[in-house]
A = this chain, B = another copy of it.
Amino acid sequence: MSYTAPVKDMLFVLKELAGMDTVAALPGFEDANLETAQAVVEEAAKLCGEVLAPLNVEGDRAPSTWRDGEVTATAGFKGAFRQFVEGGWQGLQHPLEYGGQALPKLIATPCIEMLNAANLSFALCPLLTDGAIEALLTAGTDEQKSRYVPKLISGEWTGTMNLTEPQAGSDLALVRSRAEPQADGSYRVFGTKIFITWGEHDMADNIVHLVLARTPDAPEGVKGISLFIVPKFLVNEDGGLGARNDVHCVSIEHKLGIKASPTAVLQYGDHGGAVGYLVGEANRGLEYMFIMMNAARFGVGMQGIGVADRAYQKAVTYAKERVQSRPVDGSASQSVSIIHHPDVRRMLATMRALTEGARALSYVAAAHSDHAHRHPDAAERARHQAIYEYLVPIVKGWSTEMVNDVTSLGVQVHGGMGFIEETGAAQLYRDARILAIYEGTTAIQANDLVGRKTVRDGGAVARALLAEIAGTIEALGKVDRAAAASMGAQLKKGAESLANVVDYVVANTKRDPNAVFMGSVPYLKLAGIVLCGWQMARALLAAHANRADDPAFHDAKIAIAQFYAEHILPQAGGLEASILAARNGESALAMSEDQF
C-alpha cells in the first residue's frame, strides 16, 4: 500500500488557483515563492512516501498499546517521529524566534495534506502539537512561550487538547473538571478527560496537556471555563524535566479506525492534584481553545482530503491491474482491466473530482489566511479573515463528509477484495469515519456556518463569494468547448441555489431556528459542492489557458472539471429543495419523541 504525493496537482493549485505569487508578495514571505513551495513540497513528499506511508498499515495491524498507565506507540512510529521533527516539519508555520520556519499557511497546507494521506494516525500528533503552539503563542505569557514552544517545535515534547469529558462532548458548558488555586500562583487540577488524542505515548520526553477546567469561583456554563497547561512531567527552572505530574492515562479506546493513534482517558488529580498553570486570563479558556480548534478544524479538513487522495490512488492502481469482464461496447473479445468499464470510471472520476475540488478550496482558504495575517492594509486583512472564517466550517465539514463517500467508493472499486482487511481499502474507510465527528461534528460546523458565518454578517461574505463566482461563470462563457459550457450552466444553477439558501438563512434563522437548523448540514453541503465547483471551474479555465504546455495533464484537469459539473454540481438543486421545504415546520420537526 503505497502513496505518492500528487506534487504536480498541488503545485497547479498553488500557482493557478490559490495565488502563490500574491502570497509571496506579502511582507515577511519574500522568500516564500513558488520555487520555495516546490522545494518544500517535494521534500515533504519524500518523507511521506518513504517513511510515513509504509507505517500506516502497520499501525492498523498493531495499534498503540496501553500497559500500567503507559502507552507504547506502534513499532517504527518513534523513529519516524524523530525523522519528522529533525526535518523541521513541526515548525513549518511557526515563528523563527522559537525555532520555526515561518512559512505561509499556503505552503504548509499541501505538506499537511500529504502527511495525513501518508499516515493519518501519525499525523494527529503534530496536528495537536500545532494547536497547542498556536494557543500558547496567542494567550501564553512570554515565560510560558519560551518555556514550552521551542520544545514543542523541536519535537522533544508534544501537545494535546483536553476538552471532552464523559458528559461534555459537543456541549462544553457541561465541563466539570476543576482547578484549585495554590499559594504559589499555580493550580491543582482534578477531573476526567476522554478522547484525548496522543494523550499518552512514548514518542517524546514530555507531553504538554492544555486542559479546560473551572476555578472555584467561576460562573456556570462556557463563561466559567479556564485554560491550563498541565505537563506530564513538571519542568524545572532550567527547562529540564522534574517530577511526574498527577495526570495518568487509565485506558485507551478500542476504535473503528486510526488505531495507531492512542485515544486516552486521562485522570487528573487522583493523587493530590495535577499541577497546572493558567493560560491567559481566567474564564477565557473557551476563547483560547477556539484558537486551537479553528486551526485544528482546518487541519481535519486536510485530513479528509489526504485520505481521499490516497483512496483514489489505491483504487486507480487496482483498476488498472484487475482484469475482469469484456467491455460493454464490444471493443474487445477478452476480459479487460476494469478501468475500461464505464462504472469504474464513474467511481474513479467521482473520487478524484471530489478530492480535487476540496483540495482547491482548502488551499484557497489557506491563502486567505495568509493575507489575513500579513496584508499591509487593515481592511484587506479583515476582508480576507472574514472569507477564511466562512470557509473553515466548509473545508472541515465538506471535506470530511466527502471522504466517507470517496473511501466507500474506494472499497467498491476493489469489489470483494475491498472487504478483506489485507487489501487496505477498508482501513481508509474506517480511518476516515472519525473525521466528520472530531473537532466538531458536521452539525457543529454547519451551526457555525449558519450562525456566526452567515447570519451575523447578514450573508455579506457569502454574497461576496457569489459575486466572484458570477465572474467565473462569465469567463467560462468566453471559452468555446463543451466542458466550459457544461460547467457554466451547472455552476450557474448551483450558485443560484446557494444564493437562495443564503437569503433564506439570513431571513429566517431568528424567526424559525428549528426549520433553518434542520437544513444547516444540507446548507453546508450545498456550499461545499458549489464553492468546490467554482474552484473546479477556475481549474478548467487555467488548464484551458495553459493547455499547450502539457496537454495530457491539462486535458485531464478539464475532463475532471467537466465530470464535477455534470455529476456533482447537479446535486445542488436537491439540497436547496430540502432546505427550503423545512419552512412548513412539518415532517420530522412535528414528530413527538415517542413517534421516533
Interface of A toward B, CB cutoff 8 Å: 164, 167, 169-171, 173-174, 195, 253-257, 316, 319-320, 323-326, 328-330, 335, 337, 339-346, 348-349, 352, 404, 408, 411-412, 415-416, 418-422, 426, 429-430, 433-434, 436-438, 441-443, 446-447, 482-483, 486, 490, 513-515, 517-522, 552, 555-556, 559-560, 562-563, 566-567, 570-575, 577-578, 581-582, 584, 586-596
Q: Would A437 and B422 be within 8 Å (CB), given that A320-B593, A588-B349 are in contact?
A: no
A332 to B477, CA, bound (A): 52
Q: When the two chains form their complex, are residues B411 and A438 in contact, meaning their CB atoms are under 8 A apart? A: no
Interfacial chain B residues near A563, Cβ < 8 Å = 587-588
* Given known A170-B415, A328-B514, A412-B437, contact A586–B256 (CB-CB < 8 A): no
| Shortest Cβ gap from A421 to chain B (Å) | 5
A and B contact pairs by CB, cutoff 8 A, 27 listed: A169-B416, A173-B325, A173-B326, A256-B426, A320-B593, A339-B593, A339-B596, A341-B517, A342-B515, A342-B518, A343-B517, A343-B520, A345-B589, A346-B521, A349-B591, A411-B437, A416-B438, A429-B433, A483-B586, A559-B587, A559-B588, A559-B591, A567-B581, A570-B573, A570-B575, A572-B574, A573-B574
Within 8 Å by CB of A343, from B415, B443, B562, B571, lies B443
CB distance from A18 to the nearest CB of B (A): 23
Please, which residues of chain B bring their CB within 8 A of the CB of A596? 316, 319-320, 339, 348, 352, 556
| Neighbouring B residues of A575 by C-beta, 8 Å | 570
Residue in chain B with minimal CB distance to A509: B328
- Cα separation A370 to B174 with both chains bound (whole Å): 56
Per the bound structure, the CA–CA distance linking A365 and B302 in Å amounts to: 44
Whole-angstrom distance from the CB of A251 to the nearest CB of chain B?
11
Partner of A556, one of B342, B346, B595: B595
**Inter-subunit contact A256/B419 (CB<8 Å):** yes
Bound state CA distance, A486 and B583, in angstroms?
12
Q: How far is the CA of A346 from the CA of B344 in the complex (A)?
A: 32
Closest CB of chain B to A407's CB: distance in Å? 10
